C-alpha cells in the first residue's frame, strides 16, 4: 500500500474585518481574493496525484455579540444571522461547487462573553448561543455539522462534553501552545488524532469523538507560524508506517491568505520529494475516515408526526447522544427539544414539540461523519 500523508488546509471563515492594515475590510474585496484562491491559485497548487487544492471552510456566525460594543463595532464584523454563510453559499460554496471541488463545509464557533462584549469566553454554561446558531442552521440552511473548530482555539472540559453529545470530529488543537485564551500544552504534538479523556480534553481517553491538530501558517494572534520541522515530522510518521494527518490553517480576512497557501504548498511539496512520500489534499472528513479505516452507508432518517408528537427513526446507529431537535414558533423564536430513546439501539426516538411550534428540524451524525437533516412544518 502506498504511503500517503493527508494534508488538510483549513480556513476559519469569518468575513471582512476592519481596523487593521493586514485584513480585508469589505465583502467586495473579500470576493475578489476568494475568487483568486478558488480559481487560478487552486488549480496551480496540486498534490502528488495531480489533484488541485482542497479547502476546508469553517463557517462562523457572529450571533451573540452586541452590535453596541465599541470593540465589536471597531472590528466591523457582520453580526446579522447567517451573513457569512449567505455570502459564501450563494456562489463559492454552493452545493454544486462543493461536489466538484471536494471542499469541506464545517462549523466554527466563538462563544461570546455574557454581556455580548468583544472577546472569547470559556464558559459555555452562561449562555446557549451555540444551540441557537445550530438550530437556525438546521432550519434555514438545512445544515448540521460533523466537524468543529473552536474560535481562538478555546476548548474546555465542559464544551468537550457538549461536543461529545453531537459532533464526532474536532480540528481545534494547536498543541503545545498555551495562552491566556487557550491551553493545549498537554495535548499530543504528533500528527495522529486522538480520542480525548472525559477528565481532560488534552489527553487521550475513552470519549468517542476525535481531536486533530492544525497549525497556523502565519498567525497574527500569538500562536506561532508554520514550522517546516512539523511538516517533516508528519512525513516521518508515514515513513514509519503510521497514518498521519497534517493540517494548517488561516483566516479568510487576511490579505496574506494567497501567499500563505502558496508558502505552505511549497514547503509540503519540497519535503514530500525529499522524503519520498506522496501527499494528498483532503477535506476533514475524508482524512479522518481514512485514519479510522471505517465506512458506513449514508445516514438516513424518517420522521413521522401526529400533531405535536414526532417519531424519529435512523437507518443505523448515530454518534449523537440523541437527535438534535429544534422547534420554531411564529415569532422565529426557537427551542431545543428533548427526546427519549424508544429502544437501546440508538436508532429510534420520540419527542413532543412545544404547543406553539410551527416548524421543526432534526439533525444528527454517525461515527463516520455522515450527517442527516430533516425539516418539516407542524
Among the candidates 292, 316, 343, a domain finishes at 292
Let me know whether 106 and 193 are in one domain: yes
Q: Say if strands 56-59 and 104-109 run parallel, antiparallel, or are unpaired.
A: parallel
**Residue whose cell numbers read 514550522:** 227
Cβ-based neighbour number of residue 31 at 10 Å: 15
Mean predicted confidence (pLDDT) in 61-72: 94
Q: Is the pLDDT of residue 326 over 90?
A: yes
What pLDDT score does 1 carry?
61
Mean pLDDT value across the chain: 95
Among the candidates 254, 269, 292, a domain finishes at 292
Domain count, the chain: 2
257 CB-side CA count, 13 A? 28
State the Rg of the chain over Cα: 21
Let me know whether 287 and 306 are in one domain: no
**373 grid coordinates:** 437533516
Give pLDDT tens digits for 24-34. Answer: 999 999 999 99
Give pLDDT tens digits for 68-90. Answer: 999 999 999 998 999 999 999 99
Supply the CATH number for residue 208's domain: 3.20.20
Give pLDDT tens digits for 6-21. Answer: 999 999 999 999 988 9
Give pLDDT tens digits for 116-162. Answer: 999 999 999 999 999 999 999 999 999 999 999 999 999 999 999 99
Let me know whether 189 and 322 are in one domain: no
**Residue whose cell numbers read 446558531:** 133
What pLDDT score does 219 carry?
67
Please state the three-class secondary structure of 202-259 as a single string: CCECCCCCEEEECEECECCCCCCECCHHHHHHHHHHHHCCCCCEEEEEEECCECCHHH
Mean predicted confidence (pLDDT) in 180-186: 95
Let me know whether 188 and 60 are in one domain: yes
Among the candidates 292, 311, 339, a domain finishes at 292
Supply the CATH number for residue 336's domain: 2.60.40.1220
**Residue whose cell numbers read 497514518:** 243
What pLDDT score does 81 carry?
94
Q: Give the structural domain span for 77.
A: 4-292
The answer to whether 371 touches 146, Cβ cutoff 8 Å, is yes
Mean predicted confidence (pLDDT) in 198-221: 92
Longest dimension (CA), the chain: 65
Q: Is the pLDDT of residue 2 over 90?
A: no
Q: Is the pLDDT of residue 223 over 50?
A: no
Let me know whether 211 and 257 are in one domain: yes
Amino acid at each position: 500500500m502506498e504511503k500517503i500523508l493527508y494534508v488538510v488546509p483549513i480556513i476559519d471563515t469569518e468575513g471582512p474585518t476592519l481596523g487593521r492594515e493586514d485584513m480585508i475590510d469589505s465583502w467586495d474585496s473579500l470576493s475578489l481574493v476568494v475568487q483568486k484562491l478558488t480559481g487560478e491559485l487552486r488549480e496551480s497548487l496540486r498534490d502528488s496525484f495531480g489533484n488541485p487544492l482542497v479547502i476546508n471552510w469553517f463557517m462562523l456566525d457572529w450571533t451573540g455579540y452586541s452590535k453596541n460594543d465599541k470593540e465589536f463595532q471597531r472590528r466591523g464584523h457582520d453580526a446579522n444571522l447567517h451573513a457569512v454563510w449567505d455570502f459564501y453559499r450563494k456562489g463559492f460554496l454552493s452545493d454544486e461547487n462543493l461536489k466538484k471541488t471536494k471542499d469541506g463545509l464545517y462549523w466554527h464557533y466563538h462563544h461570546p462573553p455574557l454581556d455580548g462584549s468583544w472577546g472569547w469566553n470559556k464558559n459555555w454554561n452562561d449562555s446557549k448561543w451555540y444551540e441557537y446558531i445550530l438550530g437556525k442552521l438546521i432550519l434555514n440552511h438545512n445544515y448540521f455539522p460533523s466537524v468543529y473548530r473552536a474560535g481562538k482555539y478555546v476548548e474546555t472540559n465542559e464544551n468537550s462534553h457538549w461536543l461529545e453529545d453531537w459532533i464526532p470530529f474536532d480540528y481545534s488543537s494547536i498543541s503545545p501552545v498555551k495562552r491566556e485564551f487557550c491551553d493545549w500544552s498537554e495535548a499530543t504534538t504528533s500528527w495522529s488524532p486522538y480520542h480525548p479523556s472525559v477528565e481532560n480534553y488534552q489527553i487521550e481517553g475513552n470519549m468517542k469523538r476525535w481531536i486533530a491538530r492544525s497549525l497556523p501558517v502565519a498567525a497574527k494572534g500569538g500562536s506561532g507560524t508554520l514550522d517546516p520541522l512539523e511538516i517533516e515530522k508528519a512525513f516521518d510518521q508515514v515513513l514509519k508506517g503510521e497514518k498521519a494527518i497534517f493540517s494548517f490553517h488561516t483566516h479568510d480576512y487576511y490579505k496574506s491568505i494567497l501567499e500563505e497557501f502558496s508558502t505552505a504548498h511549497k514547503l509540503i511539496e519540497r519535503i514530500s520529494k525529499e522524503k519520498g512520500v506522496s501527499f494528498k489534499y483532503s477535506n476533514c472528513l475524508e482524512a479522518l475516515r481514512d485514519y479510522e479505516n471505517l465506512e458506513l452507508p449514508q445516514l438516513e432518517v424518517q420522521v413521522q408526526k401526529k400533531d405535536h408528537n414526532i417519531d424519529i427513526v435512523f437507518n443505523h446507529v448515530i454518534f449523537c447522544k440523541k437527535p438534535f431537535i429544534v422547534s420554531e414558533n411564529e415569532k422565529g423564536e426557537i427551542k431545543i427539544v428533548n427526546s427519549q430513546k424508544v429502544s437501546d439501539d440508538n436508532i429510534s426516538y420520540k419527542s413532543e414539540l412545544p404547543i406553539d411550534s410551527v416548524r421543526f428540524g432534526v439533525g444528527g451524525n454517525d461515527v463516520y461523519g455522515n450527517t442527516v437533516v430533516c425539516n418539516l412544518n407542524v
